[in-house]
Amino acid sequence: MSEIINRIRFYHYISFVLSNQQKDPLCGMCKAYANTVLAMSEGLSLLEGEHNDEITAVAPQVAQLLEEARGKIKAIDAPKDSVGQKKAGNCKMPEGVCFVKSSKAILNRL
């Protein structure tokens, strides 16, 4: 059960990161951003489909996190035909640093 709760907490966290970075002039137009939005939407749907019974058993506060995450991720309009901002020479973050990819990487550690 704790794994499901941690995943719900992650999707809540990433939904706010993605919602916030949508307003960023580089992140919001980046291929990494668009790919992450798609992956998080699919991952959230998969989580809900595979673990529906466990999800219905979580505390109401945790269920609320899931509801907020779902709403935020669905509301994001990911850019179409986006380009990698680093590869295009626009993003000047240090090598290996990406707000979106770094946030997404947390999921792999859960």
- Distances in whole angstroms, Cα of residue 88 to Cα of each of 21, 45, 58, 60, 61: 18, 32, 44, 44, 42
Paired with 83 in beta bridges are: 30
Mark the ranges of the chain whose per-residue pLDDT is less than 70. Answer: none
Burial per residue of 73-104, b for 16 or more beta-carbon CB atoms within 10 angstroms, e otherwise = beebebeeebebbbeeeebeeeeeebbbeebb
Does the pTM of the predicted model rise above 0.85? yes
Residue 94: per-residue pLDDT? 96
At residue 95, the pLDDT reads: 92
DSSP code, position 58: S
Q: How many CB atoms lie within 10 A of CB 70?
A: 17
* Sign, CA torsion 97/100/102/105: negative
Give the per-residue pLDDT at 107. Answer: 95
Pair of tokens at residue 95 = 């090598």
